[in-house]
Amino acid sequence: MPSVIRTTTLPSGEAVPVLGQGTWKMGEDARRRADEVNALKLGLDLGMTLIDTAEMYASGGAEEVVAEAIARRRDETVLVSKVLPSNASRAGVARACENSLKRLATDRIDLYLLHWPGSVPLEETVEAFEALKKAGKIRHWGVSNFDTHEMEQLVDLPDGGYVQTNQILYNLSQRGPEFDLSPWSRQRGIPLMAYSPVDQGALARNARLEAIAARHDATPAQIALAWVMRQDGVIAIPKASRQEHVRQNVAALDIELTPEDLADLDRAFPPPTRKRGLEMI
């Protein structure tokens, strides 16, 4: 039986785990495929049932890795995938979704995101998402890499208020969103999904985290994750293809950062003092 991970609530009222699994860079090399599938399966066993992927990753290859990992356990998975802005027209979204469903070997995506803002009018993409919802191909939709002004435009559109999440770059080294995007999202009950929560592995090697990690008998990566996940309405989606990393990431849920830890982290990774445009990778 999978363990139960703390959850946060989407605007739809559905609860989703605050810790999920990323898949960028998976599906690129056939020699690593078994490790990737096994890491995702272990993550599912340990309760990380939210899996994030995208049509872009390995040109669909990551979605195929996910399909293998969730085979016969689709119903326990919260499947998140993304459509490229170049496919964000009404017809393009429908086509891209069909292709993702085929690669994922499923009949529905739980949360379908626009990967980043593009040139197709947002209203058209929202209409396309809503049509997919009615057809039962997706259950919910959201966006990614949207800054505050873009979220404001989105929620003003007809049906724009159905947005369920905004997936953004957010970690100790990139705290820009705390200035206005995080408070804006929290106020409206729209969870943020923090991608690259260990800064693509860089925070795992960051010496400034070592003393705090030692206090918790933990690793720097676990401290970085615990810091992201301690915040209400934030979902972290680290990518781990090593089983050891998968286990450590789940264990990070049990780390309770103290006021002293948080003050030390603020000194080492200062919070923003002014608005900066949302960064993306």
Q: Which residues are catalytic?
A: 57
CB atoms within 10 A of CB 183: 12
Distance in Å, CB of 249 to ligand NAP, minimum: 5
Name residues whose C-beta falls within 8 Å of residue 36's C-beta, 6 or more positions apart in sequence: 23, 26, 27, 65, 69, 241
- Asked if 40 is part of the footprint of ligand NAP (rule: CB under 6 A), the reply reads no
User: What three-state secondary structure class fits 267?
Assistant: helix
Contacts with ligand NAP by CB under 6 A: the residue count is 29
- Asked if 206 is part of the footprint of ligand NAP (rule: CB under 6 A), the reply reads no
- Asked if 240 is part of the footprint of ligand NAP (rule: CB under 6 A), the reply reads yes
Residue of 121, 158, 189, 201 interacting with ligand NAP (CB under 6 A): 201
Distance separating alpha carbons of residues 235 and 192, to the nearest angstrom: 6
Structure-token pair, residue 81 = 């995938």
Nearer to ligand NAP among residue 36 and residue 261 (C-beta): 36
Residue of 16, 229, 237, 265 interacting with ligand NAP (CB under 6 A): 237
- Asked if 149 is part of the footprint of ligand NAP (rule: CB under 6 A), the reply reads no
Burial of 260 (0-12, 13-18, 19+ CB in 10 A): exposed
Nearer to ligand NAP among residue 52 and residue 261 (C-beta): 52
Nearer to ligand NAP among residue 91 and residue 251 (C-beta): 251
Q: Binders of ligand NAP among 73-112, rule CB under 6 A?
A: none
DSSP 56-119: TGGGGHHHHHHHHHHTT-GGG-EEEEEE-GGG-SHHHHHHHHHHHHHHHTSS-EEEEEE-S--S
Residues that bind ligand NAP (CB under 6 A): 22-24, 52, 115, 144-145, 167, 195-201, 204, 219, 221, 237-242, 245, 248-249, 280-281
